[in-house]
Structure 1
């Protein structure tokens, strides 16, 4: 009599990821995600501040993982998933903001350090004025220009900008705030 060795159920996150990548079985991914769903929901709720939107975001992040886990090698799933959830929520918040020629101007909800004070943001209508905006960005000081482009155009967070530029995190926030103010002033002068 021949006994067949039964495949054991994955135990660790790494085993779940390997099993999903090998088989593409959504049930395996679902089990892995279910173990981390509460964390993802908590992150979403922290950023979105709305229970229904957080539930939707939690499900949309799962759908995103279906493809992402096929492409990426992940060594620490919880940390990676935390970053995915945070970035997803930040993108949702940025989408909510007023767009000025593809440039999101309001960023108060992204502040990672509450005591830091921002000037009030007013909507600037630049629909047909992209050339003026481009010229004004070119007139910013190097530090402001770098930080504004990384934050608004490349959608980097403060920490990523600080790491990439070598600027202190508070300096990054200041450069973005001052750059945004200088853009507004420049655009008003060029109306």
Structure 2
């Protein structure tokens, strides 16, 4: 469900005042998007789930730092999530120890069968994306693979926000239709 940014800004303002019900609603409306951002950056589902909880703790504590009108509320939430995930990645960098330890690390790459299946799915998705107008395909990739907000994509493509929403909705319908053929 698409949530108007004014509603989210209002929820953040109410959270800054300590309203738990607003926090619950904000979580319900934004957690899927923020989970997608964390998963894309961290590439580990369990770590992304834990990071998401920590991100919402930060949102609860820092809601008073959001200034409406300076940026969209979704962009602010995504920035909090992105920065938190980058902090996790920086903390995870190993100290340069003995190189022999690297030999004991198992290969996390998928086996050949899984790679072939994933490659086939990826090829189908890419073929369906190729059927879209180039700008719309780029917008879909930006929204769903790179985690850009609708507002960021609208600015990037020089179209009104509602036009970008329409592009994405129609493009997803065409992709679904293509993938079910």
Q: TM bucket by the smaller chain?
A: 0.3 to 0.5
Whose Rg is larger?
1
Task: Answer 1 or 2: higher relative contact order, Cα 8 Å, separation at least 6.
Answer: 2
TM-score of the pair, normalised by structure 2: 0.45
TM-score of the pair, normalised by structure 1: 0.43
